[in-house]
Amino acid sequence: MENDIVQTSFSFSIPDKKWLYNFSCKFSDLNFYILSLLPLASNKGNCLMQVKGMRNHIFFEEFEKYYDSNQYVFLHKSANYLLFNVKMKNPWFLKAIIQSDLILHYPIRIKNGIINIKLIAERSKIDNLFMKFEDQLMAYSIEYIRHYNSKPVLTTKQENVLQVLLKGGYYEIPRRSSLSIFAKSLNISPTSLSEMIRRISRNLANNYFQKKNKK
């Protein structure tokens, strides 16, 4: 449905003329994150950036040579952590987000010139954003588009248990290990694990039919 609230995760390559593309490729061992994006004027935006890694000092030295000192402010500098505000010219992506009335999920990760985006909005608005990309001949890759759940389907503990069961072959036929062996590896009793598996199955089943009924 066009008005359904969905969440999506997708990625695309930053234009190669942008400083963030060049620096994230050159310093591929560093972790670049956008913590916030705000419009300043019709052709400018403010970006709060975080950079983590062992070569921060080299990145810092090269960034100072490259960027106009009036266009950035470093808020924190340490051996492996940088936090700074930088003004961005022609923030085309920020414009597209504002025009499409979308909610960005921060932090936004950048690696090797690729930016990974998570959004929450009406399905029609997300479709409109992808249409803007296609109009600009921007290639993008969608990881997923799914219904938004404000409440997680599984708790963190349930999710961790499910991962152990899947990796250990609990759901295979025949089962690779007994319930008691899984319980021992998780440091809980077989009875507690059995109850948890039933709760996990119930939550996943309810979530499945809720999504199916919305179609």
Which pLDDT does position 156 carry in this prediction?
85
Domain match, 13 and 68 both: yes
- Total domains in the chain come to 2
**Domain identity same for 139 and 174:** no
pLDDT category at 49 given cuts 50, 70, 90 is very high
Mean pLDDT of 131-136: 83
Last residue of a domain, one of 147, 165, 192: 147
The Cα-based distances of 64 to 50, 57, 158, 176 in angstroms read 15, 11, 47, 57
Q: Are residues 99 and 186 in the same domain?
A: no
88 and 168: one domain? no
Do 15 and 77 lie in a common domain? yes
**In a shared domain, residues 104 and 174:** no
Domain residues for the domain of 120 are 5-147
Q: State pLDDT tens for residues 153-210.
A: 788 899 899 999 998 999 888 888 899 999 999 999 999 999 999 999 998 888 777 7
Q: Which of 147, 182, 203 is the last residue of a domain?
A: 147
